[in-house]
Structure 1
């Protein structure tokens, strides 16, 4: 064997040598009654006593230094079964105004209570009560039972699972022995009839042990009776009895550190068997040794991959994410070691307490990295939709060294949407910024960015985790401002739009500006070195008020910009000239040539010849002129004038008076 200590006699000797007389137990729900603390934990009885001690409560007559967050928030750790009475059907109340609910007994029930404290469902089932917000963490001596990312299993110490036995015939066991005993195919080992016991359903020790020996709840013999885990007094009642047992709990109980549920059994010959570890050819290894009259862990056994195990504090993943809107700094302070931040549970004082309760301290205490012993798991509640949200629909608006993202919520699916995760990465794939916003928020802006290409991802999240992301990729630049002016122009004249573009951050704009009316391009121009341009438009825009858009196409460092300007085009002002004879015979019809001119256009339309207010002749312009034949004029002097009636583009105009003498 790898240790000389493997018999009940040696265990009994350790009890005597340590002077550990049996005493009335002391228990530790938060004391005194009616005490409520910020960080409520329930679940595994393997770690309940050490967590009670770390909460600052009295455990077996000793009060330990309380572990607290920097804010002063402390732990409230509730036992797996009723202190003093041992009842498994009692209730607890964890908040001053909260409901009473069934005490979670074991790792699985603790994780279920934590899950339902998040979802708001009734614990432990529909016949219970809603416990939303009543539990903050779960003590667990085993890893996740469901896949997912909702829960983070933070390791805080190393334990091992041994086999507590009664009778020297069971001093040494193999994995095959244990498999066959618990499968029900072997009833006698080393000449001893065996009486296996198994911890209650939901026990982390039960789950871990069955996995270690190659069984499950479905393949274990149905005839094996159930006992409360880590209580040898009730399990080791006859020779040949055996049950899986937390080695740390055994050490703490036998050393008198934890409340006693096993000393009577130890005094009657109960002890931890040595186990032939898989792959080890050096003989069976005992889980414990004796030092200075006390039991201590055998590290070789604890570090074994089959029977050694991490024990965890399970927390909501989002609550320990500093970027989440659900970040709980108190929870983070107490449980998480990351970078330069050390969990309060990993302080020297805390680890002295952890060691006192039979656990082995590890460097990864508080790790949230799955590569360093942390684990991720899903909500441990049956009957819920485990899907994560679909991708939202995202749009982006570029600003001055900024991008504003707006999105529409995805269609409802599974658990309700709780928040959105918005992530911005640079062209090299490195994360530039991350922001978590509440579910009711549908926009977020990243500002103060350097010019460059970025990708933004928006993902909806619920309690199951973060769903599919919607992405936008584009160039972030500095802002430009476009201003434009234009003077009223007469039809036939060339309107000129004066454009000035300015850039922020000292960038001088370059590139082109375009003037449009609706979707029709009216003109373009290239900016000068001072950011100015003049855009000449057609001189034949219709007489009207034109709503023009002036757009700047942007440049390597500048965003596009635009302005609106109103151009008023009025009718051209014509000039009317007349060529007429000075005299005509009264028997003849004279001819008058009228010419109408205007800048930039050739007038069209009608010309009338008036004598006073009477129209005596008319004609239609062709090429801007017309020859009008006068009627026969009575003898005498006639004062006439030509009148241009105007058109859609040229104003009306009277010509100068002219005199024709009829002879």
Structure 2
């Protein structure tokens, strides 16, 4: 429970030391000492009181415990004030975690953003020279947008506020943007007979940053007569006639209605009020507030004006509210984010009643993270001592499988801030996101499965705390698997060998198209698959006698991946048939002739033929065109039994012909 500290001694000390006049004691940080909650917020003075109330604490004597926002897991907010409660000190420290080190209290939106950034990176806070506060802050309250480009932080809108000008003196009842520029740049020192005493909130204040931008002074130096005061405290700012100071209209309403701790009622009682402002494009001035049933209330037209109206934000680590991130924090998401059917707890009816009570205007985009709608914003980390750089692209390799894609990569070169994770994304041909996944920095592979055939783009992106690095991208087709099978039969040389091929596809896709058979690098046959995905391919009948290892390849289709297989084909020698034509008798003084013919199916044999008498070779000849005429030697008188023998070749087996008889006379 958040309690009020009412020690008169503390208040008196603050008045003496800092010149602060506190009409009522301020709200304390979570008490008693040692009370810690899961979701720590720091930063903006403008929104601290309403966030304190949303946390369920007691604000200015009213307990909001009954309407405390909680995540689905029961986690709650711990909201730490911009200045020390009770004393008003701007130099105090806070401890936000059990066992954590004390660190300087972040005073204002800018310092809250810097503290959140340091909590993420491990840098020291403040300004890189203070305390390491890694993991000590979960979100920052902010009344303004980012000042650093990037994507590491998301500014989630909570409500609508406006910046007015609190003044003392009737001569300042109505002001223009041009007059404000001249007053704060130092060129206008008197108005309507009043000497001007311009004040400005402390450096790091979101109200200060917003106001200077609104009047066109983002780059113009402040006049030498501008004094710095604590944000949204009229009692210490409006101390003399002619004083004026930028002020959150919501804070002015909440303080003067007695909802928020009072830093302004004394000034209001002494004549302090919000000036009417001539809004750009208007002829007359518009007051930021009106009175309803005796209470101050916002003037809608002023709040919605694009020059002086502003959204107020809760700043969150972008990766913590991304449900696909490995750093996703469901507690932060539940409380702060509205997306799709999910409504932020801060956008509930009870929460928005609290927001309205503190002088803010509720908007339908409370909690929106839709960047295209222009309410949510993104920015880089603030106030880093380390380099605010993102990773280079990983080196990506891909393997396409059956309805799937495997990615592998090597890490990009190191940056001053360590790589934290990778985002892996797959989009279809129309750019629609098929899948997105965050994986830890130690991961080097990721697979997508169950894809339909089509064209896809895959990206792998390295992240560090700063944000996304360069993409490594692959674009190509994902198809279904095909399987090629082949069989052969041992074939005699000269006959046509055949390869029977069957190609099947997964997911019911039929294989179509051609199949190619190679012996080494030589194409020895092709064929077209029939409707059942089969084909019998006849090869050359002159493959050499050997066992051949054939590669059978299918090139795939628009829906099927290529596939191949190896098959063994054995070619054996052909069988020969030998016949001989010869005379039945010859003179013993003459040399007879024998014509030998050798045949084999599918080929014309070549090679040597021998004529034997018994086991003795008596004559030889060489086949030409499958036959040869061989002249015998003179035979002695008598009957001679001879036979022809074909020696064979590299493609035809040897063969012995039938015996024949020649009588020599």
Q: TM-score range by the shorter chain?
A: 0.7 to 0.9
SS in 1 for 2:286: coil
Q: How many angstroms apart in 1 are the aligned matches of 2:37 and 2:643?
A: 106
> 1:559 offset after TM fit, Å?
4.5
- In structure 2, the residue matched to 1:288 is 289
* Contact 2:25–2:85 under 8 Å retained in 1: no
The CA deviation string for residues 215-266 of structure 1, in whole angstroms up to 9 with x for no partner, is: 1265222553322212333333333332211121222223332233334444
> 1:531 offset after TM fit, Å?
2.8
Give the length in aligned residue pairs: 634
Q: 1:569 to 1:437 in 2, by over 3 A?
A: farther
- Structure 2 unmatched runs, 5+: 1-21
> 1:561 offset after TM fit, Å?
3.6
- In structure 2, the residue matched to 1:367 is 368
**Are residue 602 (structure 1) and residue 636 (structure 2) matched?**
no
The CA deviation string for residues 147-191 of structure 1, in whole angstroms up to 9 with x for no partner, is: 333322211111111222334443333323321221112222222
Q: How many angstroms apart in 1 are the aligned matches of 2:353 and 2:139?
A: 22
* Contact 2:143–2:313 under 8 Å retained in 1: yes
Mapping 1:459-608, distance limit 5 Å: 459-462=460-463, 463-465=466-468, 467-468=470-471, 470-474=473-477, 478-554=480-556, 558-581=560-583, 589-608=591-610
> 1:468 offset after TM fit, Å?
4.2
Q: 1:258 to 1:562 in 2, by over 3 A?
A: same
Which of 447, 450, 457 lines up with 2:450 in the alignment?
447
Q: How many angstroms apart in 2 are the aligned matches of 1:119 and 1:633?
A: 112
* Contact 1:395–1:472 under 8 Å retained in 2: no
* Contact 1:151–1:378 under 8 Å retained in 2: yes
* Contact 1:334–1:345 under 8 Å retained in 2: yes
- In structure 2, the residue matched to 1:161 is 163
* Contact 2:394–2:409 under 8 Å retained in 1: no
> 1:210 offset after TM fit, Å?
0.5
* Contact 1:120–1:131 under 8 Å retained in 2: yes
* Contact 2:127–2:383 under 8 Å retained in 1: no
> 1:484 offset after TM fit, Å?
1.7
Q: How many angstroms apart in 1 are the aligned matches of 2:302 and 2:23?
A: 28
- In structure 1, the residue matched to 2:311 is 310
- In structure 2, the residue matched to 1:14 is none
Which of 398, 407, 423 lines up with 2:426 in the alignment?
423
* Contact 2:515–2:527 under 8 Å retained in 1: yes
Task: Select between 647-656 and 338-347 the one with higher mean Cα deviation.
Answer: 647-656
Q: How many angstroms apart in 2 are the aligned matches of 1:595 and 1:381?
A: 102
Mapping 1:249-398, distance limit 5 Å: 249-282=251-284, 284-370=285-371, 371-381=373-383, 384-386=387-389, 389-390=392-393, 393=396, 395=398, 397=400
> 1:487 offset after TM fit, Å?
0.9
Q: 1:573 to 1:228 in 2, by over 3 A?
A: farther
> 1:611 offset after TM fit, Å?
5.2
SS in 2 for 1:219: coil
- Structure 1 unmatched runs, 5+: 1-20
SS in 1 for 2:53: helix
Q: 1:137 to 1:24 in 2, by over 3 A?
A: closer
The CA deviation string for residues 101-156 of structure 1, in whole angstroms up to 9 with x for no partner, is: 43322211222233333344333344244444433322110112123333222111
* Contact 2:274–2:288 under 8 Å retained in 1: yes
The CA deviation string for residues 405-439 of structure 1, in whole angstroms up to 9 with x for no partner, is: 5354575376655313413224xx25151312325
Q: How many angstroms apart in 1 are the aligned matches of 2:659 and 2:93?
A: 115
Q: How many angstroms apart in 1 are the aligned matches of 2:545 and 2:225?
A: 101
* Contact 1:392–1:460 under 8 Å retained in 2: no
Q: How many angstroms apart in 2 are the aligned matches of 1:582 and 1:84?
A: 142
> 1:98 offset after TM fit, Å?
4.8
SS in 2 for 1:521: strand
* Contact 1:173–1:275 under 8 Å retained in 2: yes
SS in 2 for 1:384: coil
* Contact 2:409–2:444 under 8 Å retained in 1: no
Which of 116, 119, 136 lines up with 1:117 in the alignment?
119
Q: How many angstroms apart in 2 are the aligned matches of 1:543 and 1:91?
A: 93
Q: 1:527 to 1:217 in 2, by over 3 A?
A: closer
Q: How many angstroms apart in 2 are the aligned matches of 1:654 and 1:100?
A: 109
SS in 2 for 1:306: coil
Task: Select between 300-309 and 411-420 the one with higher mean Cα deviation.
Answer: 411-420
Which of 232, 241, 244 lines up with 2:243 in the alignment?
241
- In structure 1, the residue matched to 2:57 is 57
* Contact 1:212–1:307 under 8 Å retained in 2: yes
SS in 2 for 1:322: coil
SS in 2 for 1:197: strand
Q: Considering only aligned residues, what root-mean-square deviation do their CA atoms show, in Å?
A: 3.1
Q: How many angstroms apart in 2 are the aligned matches of 1:397 and 1:576?
A: 59
- In structure 2, the residue matched to 1:187 is 189
* Contact 1:91–1:100 under 8 Å retained in 2: yes
Q: How many angstroms apart in 2 are the aligned matches of 1:483 and 1:660?
A: 59
Q: 1:341 to 1:611 in 2, by over 3 A?
A: same
Q: How many angstroms apart in 1 are the aligned matches of 2:70 and 2:407?
A: 40
Q: How many angstroms apart in 1 are the aligned matches of 2:176 and 2:395?
A: 55
The CA deviation string for residues 60-91 of structure 1, in whole angstroms up to 9 with x for no partner, is: 33332221222222222222233334343444
TM-score scaled by length of structure 2? 0.86
Q: 1:621 to 1:145 in 2, by over 3 A?
A: same
